Structure 1
Amino acid sequence: MDALNKLNVLSLVLSAVLVAMACVKSDRVRSWRANVNPSAPELPDSAFVVARVVFLGLAGIGVYLAVQGFGVSDDGSWSDGELASAARRTADDLDGYTFRADDAGTPLPFTDYASLIEDKVIQNGGGDAPEYGVTVDPSGTNTLTDASFTITADGTDTAFCAHLERTRSKKDDYTPPGITGGEGTLTYQGYRLKTSLRKGEC
C-alpha cells in the first residue's frame, strides 16, 4: 500500500472515531467530567449539540477527502484488469506489425521493441489508467528472430509475457519512387512480426 492509500485509510479511521465520539451520551460525558473535576460547571445540552455537529461535520470532511484520495491513487496506478486489457490489445496491435530495415539493410534490434510495447500498452490503457508506470523487460535469451518481453506496471503484481517472432517479408519491401533498375536501386527490406501473449513473466 502506497503512502497516499495509507493516508486515506487513516482519514477513514479518524472519521470513524469522530462519529463514535458524536454518539457518546451526554450523561456519560457529564459523569466523566464530574469524576475528573467535581467543581466544573454543568455543561448545557446545547454544548453537546454543537459538539456533535462539529464531530459529524469533521467526519464527513474526512470521508470525502479519503474518497477523493482513493480516486487519485487509482488514477495514478494500474489495476490487474487495466494491465490485462492493455496487454491483450497491444499483442493484437503488434500481431502482423510490419516495418522496414534501415539504409544498411539491418533490421531494428529487439531492444527497440521494448519501448514500442511500452508505448502501445500505455495507449491501450484506457481513460482510468495512468500514462506512465509501465515496464517492459526483454528476456535474456532473445535472438534476432525470436524474443520475449515481460510486461509489468505500477500498482499491480500481475505480469504478462509478450512473445515476438520476426520474419523476413519480401512483400513488405519498399523501393522509393523514381529509383529503379541498376546499381542505384534502393530497396528497404520488409519484416513482419507474429505476436502472442500469456499471463506470467517470461
Structure 2
Amino acid sequence: MDALNKLNVLSLVLSAVLVAMACVKSDRVRSWRENINPSAPDLPDSAFVAARVVFLGLAGVGVYLAVQGFGVSDDASWSDGELTSAVQQATDDLNGYTFQADDGGAPLGFPGYATLIEDKVLENRGGDAPGYGVTVDPAETNTPAKASFTITADGTDTAFCTHLTRTRSKKDDYTPPGITGGEGTLTYQGYRLTMSLEKGEC
C-alpha cells in the first residue's frame, strides 16, 4: 500500500473515532469529569451539542478527503485489469508491425523495441490508468532479430513477458526519393515483427 492510501485509511479511522466520540452520552462525560475533578463546573447541554456538531463535521471532512484521496491514488496507478487489457492490445497492434532499418540495423521511426512496446501499452490504456508508470525490461539474451521483454506497471504486481521476432520483409523496403548512397540508390531494409505474450516475468 502506497503512502497516499495509508493516509486515506488513517483519515477514515480518525473519522470513525470522531463519530464514536460524538455518540458518547453527556451523562457519562459528566461522570468522568466528576471522578477526575469533582470541583470542576458542570457543563451545559449546549456545550455537548456544539461538541457533537464539531466532531461530526470533522468526521465528514475526513471521509470526504479520504474518498477524494482514494480517487487520486486510483488515477495515479495501474490495476491488474488495466495492465492486462493494455498489454494484450499492444501485443495485437505490434503483431505484424512493419518498419525500416538503417545499414547498421537500427530501426527508423522509434528508438528501440522497449520504447515501441511501452508507447503502445500507454496508447492502449483504458479506465483510469495514468499515462505513465509502465516499465519494459529487456532480457539479457536479446538480439536485434529475437527479443523478450518483461512488462510491469506501478500499482500492480502483475507482469507479462512479450516475445518479439523480427523477419526480413523486402516488400516493406523504402527508398527515399532523390537520395543515393555510396554505391547508388539508398534503400532502407524493411522488417516485420511477430509478437506473442505470456503472463509472468521473462
Normalising by the smaller structure, the TM-score range is over 0.9
Alpha-carbon deviation of 1:178? 5.2
Distance (Å, rounded) in 2 between the aligned partners of 1:23 and 1:188: 77
What do residues 167-190 of structure 1 show as CA deviations (whole Å, max 9, x unaligned)? Answer: 00011112234579xx52222110
2:162 is the counterpart of 1:162: yes
Percent identity, aligned pairs only? 82
Q: Secondary structure at the match of 1:157?
A: coil
Q: Secondary structure at the match of 2:129?
A: coil
What do residues 137-182 of structure 1 show as CA deviations (whole Å, max 9, x unaligned)? Answer: 01112223211100001111100011111100011112234579xx
Structure 1 counterpart of 2:186, which letter?
A: L
Q: Which residue of 1 aligns with 2:18?
A: 18
Alpha-carbon deviation of 1:22? 0.4
Q: Which residue of 1 aligns with 2:194?
A: 194
Do the aligned partners of 1:105 and 1:189 also contact (CA within 8 Å) in 2?
Answer: no
Do the aligned partners of 2:160 and 2:200 also contact (CA within 8 Å) in 1?
Answer: yes
What TM-score, normalized to structure 1? Answer: 0.92
Q: Which residue of 1 aligns with 2:75?
A: 75
Do the aligned partners of 1:111 and 1:138 also contact (CA within 8 Å) in 2?
Answer: no
Distance (Å, rounded) in 1 between the aligned partners of 2:8 and 2:136: 30
What do residues 92-119 of structure 1 show as CA deviations (whole Å, max 9, x unaligned)? Answer: 11111000011x2624399811111111
Aligned CA RMSD, in angstroms, stands at: 1.9
Distance (Å, rounded) in 1 between the aligned partners of 2:104 and 2:115: 21
Distance (Å, rounded) in 1 between the aligned partners of 2:34 and 2:178: 101
Alpha-carbon deviation of 1:37? 1.0
Q: Which residue of 2 aligns with 1:145?
A: 145
The alignment of Structure 1 onto Structure 2 pairs a total of residues equal to: 199
Do the aligned partners of 1:171 and 1:190 also contact (CA within 8 Å) in 2?
Answer: yes
Range with greater deviation from structure 2 (191-200 or 37-46):
37-46
Structure 1 residue runs of 5 or longer lacking an equivalent are none
What do residues 40-93 of structure 1 show as CA deviations (whole Å, max 9, x unaligned)? Answer: 111111111111111000000000001111111111111111111110111011
Q: Secondary structure at the match of 2:131?
A: coil
Alignment of 1:43-192 (within 5 A): 43-102=43-102, 104=103, 106-108=105-107, 112-177=112-177, 183-192=183-192
Distance (Å, rounded) in 1 between the aligned partners of 2:185 and 2:104: 13
Structure 2 counterpart of 1:81, which letter?
A: G
What TM-score, normalized to structure 2? Answer: 0.92
Structure 2 residue runs of 5 or longer lacking an equivalent are none
Q: Secondary structure at the match of 2:89?
A: helix
Do the aligned partners of 2:82 and 2:127 also contact (CA within 8 Å) in 1?
Answer: no
Do the aligned partners of 2:80 and 2:158 also contact (CA within 8 Å) in 1?
Answer: yes
Distance (Å, rounded) in 2 between the aligned partners of 1:153 and 1:67: 23
